[in-house]
Amino acid sequence: MSPVSATQAPPISFEDTRVAFASKSDAQLRKVYALFAAMNNGSLVKTGSGLMKAALKWNLPGTKFLIKHSIFEQFCGGETIAECRLVTAELGKYNIGTILDYSVEGEGSDRSYDHTRDEILATIEEAHRSRHIPFSVFKVTGVANVAILEKIQAGKLLTPTEEASHARAVARVEALCARAHQHGVRLFVDAEESWFQHTIDQLAYDMMAKYNREKAIVWNTYQLYRHDRLDALKAAHDTAAETGYYIGVKLVRGAYMEKEARVAKQRGYENPINPTKQATDDLYDESLRYCLEHVDRISTCAGTHNEASSLYLTQLMQQAGLAPGDPRVWFAQLYGMSDNLTYNLANAGYNTAKYLPYGPVAAVMPYLLRRADENTAIAGQSSREFLLIQKEIRRRQGR
């Protein structure tokens, strides 16, 4: 799709289910309807999650097949990069990019860290070969020891063994960023828990200073349910401007709210989470505005399922005179959710992408179920998805 000028940007309605579900046949839509109808039942989800975990643990016959052709199929791209290619191609037909998200958590050993590094390198190579994969992504805890990251943030001295372990972790991060820079592939560094996030931030900024001299290759993630994140973003921008490099910024609301509150209480420090959802929403939108005001230095991805914030970013772009397809501004949602956002934004010419988790069924499903348990935004989203699918089915029945 050729970029259109900002003044020609068509109006967007996130209620347009004809566009949102254009890729789904009637049969596919009914299948998704049944899945979200089940997910909309809280007690059923709780019971089903327990049964699914148990069945996977006990390796009951047929379990993997049932999961793979239901909830896994809805929210994951496949078990391997190769299996994800069909989904990547299908999304590409609608000008939607794919972000391959290797969603297998390591075992905490050098062997598992090296395996994760190699898998992320493979996603970078896949992105380099495909015009439909605009980003790669990784978690630092996938290639580094959490306890050491936490110890560094706390200002504690590392033992010689820990120093060596951390040096290997930094080398893994360096390998990922160097390969991304070599191929011109944007690379997200995911955000994690606050008690070692500063260590991750510093790693990301070190990589930006080295690899973001021409454009934003390495992107850091900011969880705006933390009240200090806009200040951190502003400080990062100031440093980049003084030092002469670009920064990539992925803005999300956050994924560890209950855990953050629990740990803060246990350790006796102030909860870093905003006191209300409205405060988080306001901070998120203020951060979008800050990024667009500094678009010459900051590239931005709004990783959100929030319709108001997504619409607000399109308005900010128009006010700034940016075309919908400006390469410095992106929107991203999880695969299998919020198609009313992704497809309508893409249809209007905005840069959009889907996070596409992949990995072996048994390894990926606990991750997805935990995300659903932890993230109330995702859990609450099921009602919205259900209503939109209902609306589209009724529209098709009235054709």
CA angle 348, 351, 355 (to 5 degrees): 120
Q: Is the pLDDT of residue 336 over 50?
A: yes
Average pLDDT over residues 203-224: 98
pLDDT digits (tens, 9 = 90+) for 269-281: 999 999 999 999 9
pLDDT digits (tens, 9 = 90+) for 11-30: 789 999 999 999 999 999 99
Flag the least confident range among 57-66, 301-310, 344-353: 57-66
- Please name the residues in contact with 224: beta carbons below 8 A apart, sequence gap of 6 or more: 230, 251, 252, 253, 254, 280, 283, 284, 287
Average pLDDT over residues 37-61: 66
Of 123, 95, 96, 151, nearest to 333 by C-alpha is 96
Compute the distance between CA of residue 91 and CA of residue 77 in angstroms, rounded to an integer.
11
**Is 0.75 surpassed by the pTM of this model?**
yes
Fold of 77-358: TIM Barrel (3.20.20)
Q: How far is CA 39 from the centre of its chain?
A: 21
What own/partner pairs with CB < 8 Å and gap ≥ 24 does 45-53 have? 45/372, 45/379, 49/369, 49/372, 49/373, 52/365, 52/369, 53/365, 53/366, 53/369
Which backbone phi and psi does 177 adopt, to 5 degrees? -70, -40
Domain residue limits, the chain: 14-75+377-398, 77-358
pLDDT digits (tens, 9 = 90+) for 220-257: 999 999 999 999 999 999 999 999 999 999 999 998 88
Are the C-beta atoms of residues 257 and 376 closer than 8 Å to each other?
A: yes
pLDDT digits (tens, 9 = 90+) for 115-147: 999 999 999 999 999 999 999 999 999 999 999
| Token couple for 398 | 């009235």
Q: Is the pLDDT of residue 4 over 60?
A: no
pLDDT for res 2:
37
* Confidence at 1, pLDDT banded by 50, 70, 90: very low
* Confidence at 46, pLDDT banded by 50, 70, 90: low
CA angle 372, 332, 36 (to 5 degrees): 40
Residue with the larger pLDDT of the pair 366 and 295: 295
pLDDT for res 221:
98
pLDDT for res 278:
97
Q: Is the pLDDT of residue 192 over 80?
A: yes
| Token couple for 289 | 């505005």
Compute the distance between CA of residue 100 and CA of residue 79 in angstroms, rounded to an integer.
11
